[in-house]
Amino acid sequence: MKLLILLVVVAVASARPDEKYSSRYDDFDVDQLRENPRLMNSYILCFLGEGKCTPEGNDISKWIPDAVSNTCENCSDKQKVLVAKMIKTMMDDHKEGWEKLKNKYDPEHAHEDELKQFIEKYQS
């Protein structure tokens, strides 16, 4: 029993919420995605859990709720630019998909102002 308690304490202590995401997709070509509406729709379906995901889409889908709820706190600066560009494209060109994502991850619209500021700052 003591061992189990010790393992739980170690697991909780080692789980760091401030840990950054892997830099694996920092050089993901978001502009290519933005210029291809069909591909963007596939990613949106992935992010919603309604479609198949590429390995990139699967990993990036974990950044979306973070971006919506806390301006991508765990993202690197490169990832913040990537996510901001993706969200801006969804807002402008894929409104229905964006509304679904927004309602999924921020149903109360509590983070709308922070998200707008995040996008303005990082979409460059």
Owner of token pair 């992010």? 47
- CATH (domain of 87): 1.10.2080.10
Q: What is the pLDDT of residue 97?
A: 95
Evaluate if residue 1 carries a pLDDT over 70: no
pTM (2 d.p.): 0.77
Domain hosting 88: range is 28-122
Evaluate if residue 53 carries a pLDDT over 70: yes
**Position 106 in a domain:** yes
Give me the number of domains the chain comprises: 1
Q: What is the pLDDT of residue 15?
A: 36
Closest C-alpha to 102, from 67, 60, 74: 67
Mean pLDDT, the chain, as a whole number?
81
Q: What is the CA radius of gyration of the chain?
A: 16
**Position 85 in a domain:** yes
Confidence of residue 18 (pLDDT cuts 50, 70, 90): low
